[in-house]
Structure 1
């Protein structure tokens, strides 16, 4: 059976037995911040097992995409060196949520392996938890397995727990004896041995207890089943091969690597390791990038970058020069797209970003390796075995070598790395960066504000609750100095103890409004935050005067605030729509939210087509018209992120954060102001989309009154165009199409006439003079563009056979010159050199090839002189 057939057969078998076939969840867990990647089939059902969620079905089956390359579950260093370790793999699983239990799980597991995959029952063993008599009796009495092939093992091997507390229970593994030739030869070799003879195939977990904080086990009211079997491993067993990499799941990928490297697989074990590493890593990279993960220096993006760079290093060991992983990844898409269409959908993103990442690292890989080998040789001379942490850090910092890549390389030399020293160097760099940032920020901050920080001056913001309050003036700033009094006409910064004015932050502009008291009117034009705890009202004293200590009324411009709030909430909806339409790789890269408009920058590898834009706009408007409540909650930042709230990368958050939630599609950490319900936004109109940097796009949009004004202006422009074309608006497309067709017809007629003009002038032609045996023709053509001049020149060249042709004309108020030299003369009279002398006369410059050159200049009145000068220029060169 092929691997693909096993995948299909597994799902069909359990579907026929009442299981719901559930699609694989993404490699990035939706709502489990404890995991970097999905590493088992049960991850998407975790909340069901914890009884925090219910499903419409009580038993399910999946083929789950899994990745183990970071965090607790990390197989990276073993990949390629063993027959079975992978970063990316597929896990077959069946699950019961209070339906069948041990008996059903054991019976179906056995039946599928023996009757559907035709594994020999006499070679199958099982392990059970040493205290699980129920499982022993099922295997012995109902399956008929001999007692000597049922092996009891301890809690470490055969008792599974989701965590220190929560659901847990014994497990039973189905194992196949692959024969003595696969063993270690030890007389004690048996189930549990580290060799490949007794191979674990399928783990059946019987979740029947709940463990409390004291370690006490209480029976669950509805015991559950969670099973997992690696597709690559079972495929190797069914196909009778010794390694997962020898299965048909890898054949095409390894063949592609052989083609690129010109290295045959299984000809040399050292090179085989590299081929296996590349094959495995290409699968991991393809699936990670299909989900929109970008290579970066943080989190999941850094795991991806490490995998890519590890593969590139092994490519170097095979003698491959330049980018190649992208071509292996394309083969992975071809092999896997039938089962996982998302890899095909993400192919464009994959090829562009991966190629760029390869090129970037390839530039430094050779230099980095050279430095590393020099350090290794130096260490050998001293008899050392541990590469210093500062060297590992230098390779990382200067050449982009992840620490585990360096560790891989030196391990081949029998060495290790000083990981603790590396981490210390990393922390020193982080500390230096933090201090530099603080220093830089401090230098940017005017002295007047730095002094306020030391004084502990702060403003309490109350603008979420109200737009008008009474407060006390505690500081007045004029021209970066603290003053006690400000008079009419003066521009000042006002600091109060409390304020309803929102200070610019998080992409949202500051509020506008007024500050009043008896005899005082101060217009606030902007509100800023020089540092997070301080809010400054910048404005002009319109009437009266203001003093420190005065009690004043602060009133935010309500219309302006709500217009800004509409745009800010719409920005959250836009980000949610982008992630839904384009993929989960979309992340905020910047934003601007004002009362007039919104601007949102985001990560994406390509421009958006009209279909994308219309879908995004329609989705945002649908959410607006659903009039969903906008909920705001203050909670611990860590808890908010655990719940799945989106945090802006690089943004600094305190211990507590404000979480803005809209329906089940948007949850963000945000300190900005928002509408109460999405319906208050009114309408959303996307007005532009563009690229602003590599893999960063920008959308600009309008909401509410701004969107309505925009649409009215467009309608007005449409009506004006209709009047000009004497048509109704709905007739404009057909009218314009007709005009364009007429224009093309006229252009064709004009081209015919143009050629006739050229033909007449060519035939009448310029006077050909002989300059010391060289034919030279110079002529001013009328109503002929540069292209026409070249056509005329070709005709004159054909007529004279051998010689030099200079033609001039006027185009848009400037002189145009074309100079041609026949091939037989080009070595003596280069057109690109002659044109430079001629061009100087009309005040311009020129260039071209030895046989054809062109020039232009502003001095049309000198065109006649330039055309006449060619004769003397040629004569000087003979």
Structure 2
């Protein structure tokens, strides 16, 4: 049974049993405390916790998930994978334990011919929470399971919590017996390899508090509305139903593994070491494909770093299989063909996805080449110094700075006959992890507990009136100070205010929040920010300018009209620039991020090379032609499917419900899903002026533009500057480039002449300086201040020339000079002086102390700089003193 068929049977079954089928949420989680959707329940947390009222009483879904906690175990076991799909059915105050158990048993044991999954009841075992007699009795009554196939486990295994105070409850897990070839008999408490968990039913019935750990918390009572949260691992069921050994061999994953085997010329199933590498490649390529399809792009931080790590581990595994050249074109295409039936967006967006994947592999292959060069040098230095172990900090530098994998460092070092200080490397890695964890904890602490919004959200969604009104009367539903619901806030305090209605736009879709005020009887609030902390609720961060605001008071939101108008111009101009880019570059240039604020827009898009000046001009002209043509801007609210059928672009990084707002500019010329505010016709934008274009990562470019009056003011300022230059250089504006080029060439020629004069002048000083040589300790010393010099290079050349003139007797030259506001110090020694114990590095450090500077170098030449010119005599005396005592 194919993986897609298993998912279809599951969803069809629950749809027939009155469940709303909910589309998968993005792999990019809405929860700010986690990077990805790590479990099937993540999108439903607001409903399970009661913060947001559930829009349905029962639901079912197939949720995409990414989990990288056990990335090092991928390929080694049958159960560890980074990307997986979780089937779930959910009840929000509807059916409970009996319903969940009945549904699960019926679907699992109904024959394939009758639409079920066809598991033999004799192969199924269950676990329940140690005190959950009700669940144990239900399993016996509904499924007819004997008592010995119902095992009880404690909080560690069979009690679910969010890790925070709130809803929780016991679990019941369903296991499949794989048979005696896979381990001991006796159920999951004896061997969880032979007995494989396939479905977990969570009975969310308790309220917990005082959470101290996963197993230490206080159950304080029952929830008023009990929920069901279940999860069945699609990949686990698939490999059982397909009769293969593990999730890497199912129909959605195996094609990548086979392609890797073909490219490497090594068979799968012969060498355990190679098999682990094949499975890593198959898993990581699919995970990378799915992350890219949800808009994640490779980078050095956050989600992008996880994606980059997965892709680079794939490249590394292929290298260990003997493949040195690029393989992603073949591997990603194999994964695309295996996954496109379940996720059609992979094929429709293939150009964008593949461009990122191929560019990342190309970049990493270059990294491996440069990293190998750096490592080779480090190995040579280690061996030349008589060492047999590469330092841990050197291995960590290669890993952390150059992205060079530690296992590759170990392999190359071993080939060169030396070891690696793995303990030192691991210690530095642990320090980095601790810093990352501390940073994550601090970010998590900074995020308010969203449960504080539960009561406000229960009153209904905040009504946004700002599409049509700039002023709206409402009432205060809540006031929060420092994340706590206080009910009121006084003059001078910063607070959050929740209203029933608002005209103020909450930041989203790249458009920043509105500016404005909230006024009521006896109070005035300056709006600092507007956000949506939970779905359907708008919160205003305000400063109480006057009076005191409290719950149930009238409130009027007043939008700063000029700021809103300018922001609307920028947002609509962003749509024009996007359309112009696609018109000029093709459909591969799609939005990867944006920022719109009053008078300014920043637009990131997928593209692999810099735009030529001619292309930039063309994009700018297309956008401004659209402004000139006064295109009508219209909005429609319709279903997501209807909007996509009409050709609307759904942009990555955005979350869409089943009802969306579609913005047309000139009909289909620009048609995007967008919740932002816009002008009513393109002529209102006024002017679009591109002011910059740059790279923001592999295959990503950024254009910036000024809009409306801001664009006009910028062009006016440039016109004034051109006029000033034209007058100053006495050249018409069309001749300015040639005139400036002429002046630049003359300046460079003059600088060369000046440098030659200065070099000659310094050379002329060499004989006189050499004459100042005095016997100091065991060497001849020249210690002089030479005054102003052009640069440190000039002073160094002078010191070397004087040293050479002093001959072969032990000689030290210590010179100071001034270049701008810096005081330079240089010490040079010849071979005889070094043999007598004079070291330039130590001498220059002594000289720099009175100068308030730092520096260093080798025994033969050292230099540095300070800022205390008054210390020059003391600096030279310090050199003399050190040589006298040497």
Could you state the TM-score of these two structures normalised by the residue count of structure 1?
A: 0.52
For 1:768, the equivalent position in structure 2 comes to none
Instruction: Please point out which of 663, 688, 695 is paired with 2:700.
Output: 695
Alignment of 1:638-653 (within 5 A): none
Report the more deviating stretch, 360-369 or 264-273: 360-369
- DSSP 3-state at the match of 2:255: helix
The question of 1:684 aligning with 2:685 is answered yes
- DSSP 3-state at the match of 2:341: coil
Q: 1:472-496: per-residue Cα shift (whole Å, max 9, x none)?
A: xxxxxxxxxxxxxxxxxxxxxxxxx
- DSSP 3-state at the match of 2:131: coil
For 2:607, the equivalent position in structure 1 comes to 605
Instruction: Please point out which of 210, 214, 217 is paired with 2:207.
Output: 210
> Cα offset for 1:418?
4.0
> Cα offset for 1:118?
1.2
The question of 1:129 aligning with 2:122 is answered no
For 2:253, the equivalent position in structure 1 comes to 250
Q: 1:124-156: per-residue Cα shift (whole Å, max 9, x none)?
A: 100000011110110012221000000000000
Q: In the aligned structure 2, how far is the partner of 1:222 from the partner of 1:169?
A: 12
> Cα offset for 1:373?
9.2
Cα 1:161–1:564 shift into 2, 3 Å? closer
Q: 1:740-759: per-residue Cα shift (whole Å, max 9, x none)?
A: xxxxxxxxxxxxxxxxxxxx
The question of 1:112 aligning with 2:101 is answered no
The question of 1:198 aligning with 2:195 is answered yes
Q: 1:181-221: per-residue Cα shift (whole Å, max 9, x none)?
A: 101x5x8x641345520111101111111213473332111
- Is contact 2:128–2:150 with CA below 8 Å preserved after alignment? yes
Q: In the aligned structure 2, how far is the partner of 1:220 from the partner of 1:282?
A: 43
- DSSP 3-state at the match of 1:53: coil
- Is contact 2:630–2:681 with CA below 8 Å preserved after alignment? no
Q: 1:252-290: per-residue Cα shift (whole Å, max 9, x none)?
A: 222222232222211222111111111111111111111
Total equivalences in the alignment: 523
Q: 1:716-767: per-residue Cα shift (whole Å, max 9, x none)?
A: xxxxxxxxxxxxxxxxxxxxxxxxxxxxxxxxxxxxxxxxxxxxxxxxxxxx
- Is contact 1:127–1:172 with CA below 8 Å preserved after alignment? yes
For 1:96, the equivalent position in structure 2 comes to 91
- Is contact 1:685–1:701 with CA below 8 Å preserved after alignment? no
Q: In the aligned structure 2, how far is the partner of 1:348 from the partner of 1:77?
A: 31
Instruction: Please point out which of 265, 272, 275 is paired with 2:275.
Output: 272
Cα 1:706–1:613 shift into 2, 3 Å? closer
For 2:554, the equivalent position in structure 1 comes to none
For 1:50, the equivalent position in structure 2 comes to 49
Q: In the aligned structure 1, how far is the partner of 2:237 from the partner of 2:388?
A: 40
> Cα offset for 1:316?
0.2
Alignment of 1:229-248 (within 5 A): 229-248=232-251
For 1:300, the equivalent position in structure 2 comes to 303
Q: In the aligned structure 1, how far is the partner of 2:84 from the partner of 2:152?
A: 29
Q: In the aligned structure 1, how far is the partner of 2:56 from the partner of 2:359?
A: 45
Q: 1:526-585: per-residue Cα shift (whole Å, max 9, x none)?
A: xxxxxxxxxxxxxxxxxxxxxxxxxxxxxxxxxxx9867633454356669999999999
> Cα offset for 1:170?
0.3
- Is contact 1:387–1:416 with CA below 8 Å preserved after alignment? no
Q: 1:334-354: per-residue Cα shift (whole Å, max 9, x none)?
A: 111121122123311122122
Q: In the aligned structure 1, how far is the partner of 2:157 from the partner of 2:630?
A: 50
- Is contact 2:129–2:154 with CA below 8 Å preserved after alignment? yes
- DSSP 3-state at the match of 1:81: coil
Provide structure 1 residue ranges, at least 5 long, that are not aligned to the other structure: 430-505, 509-560, 627-642, 645-662, 667-674, 711-878
Q: In the aligned structure 2, how far is the partner of 1:686 from the partner of 1:61?
A: 49
Alignment of 1:382-781 (within 5 A): 389-401=392-404, 418-422=425-429, 566-571=565-570, 586=591, 594=599, 598-605=600-607, 622=633, 665=675, 683-684=684-685, 692-693=694-695, 695-698=700-703, 700=705, 702-703=707-708
- DSSP 3-state at the match of 2:363: helix
- Is contact 1:602–1:696 with CA below 8 Å preserved after alignment? yes
For 1:317, the equivalent position in structure 2 comes to 320
Q: In the aligned structure 2, how far is the partner of 1:304 from the partner of 1:46?
A: 25
> Cα offset for 1:395?
1.1
Cα 1:134–1:428 shift into 2, 3 Å? closer
> Cα offset for 1:164?
2.3
Q: In the aligned structure 2, how far is the partner of 1:8 from the partner of 1:414?
A: 52
Q: 1:766-824: per-residue Cα shift (whole Å, max 9, x none)?
A: xxxxxxxxxxxxxxxxxxxxxxxxxxxxxxxxxxxxxxxxxxxxxxxxxxxxxxxxxxx
The question of 1:3 aligning with 2:6 is answered no
CA RMSD of aligned residues (A): 4.9
For 1:161, the equivalent position in structure 2 comes to 161
- DSSP 3-state at the match of 1:40: coil
- Is contact 1:306–1:405 with CA below 8 Å preserved after alignment? no
- DSSP 3-state at the match of 1:35: coil
> Cα offset for 1:415?
5.9
Cα 1:211–1:326 shift into 2, 3 Å? farther
Q: In the aligned structure 1, how far is the partner of 2:295 from the partner of 2:372?
A: 30
Could you state the TM-score of these two structures normalised by the residue count of structure 2?
A: 0.52
- DSSP 3-state at the match of 2:91: strand
Q: In the aligned structure 2, how far is the partner of 1:578 from the partner of 1:45?
A: 36
Q: In the aligned structure 1, how far is the partner of 2:630 from the partner of 2:311?
A: 35
> Cα offset for 1:368?
3.5
For 1:345, the equivalent position in structure 2 comes to 348
Q: In the aligned structure 2, how far is the partner of 1:23 from the partner of 1:507?
A: 26
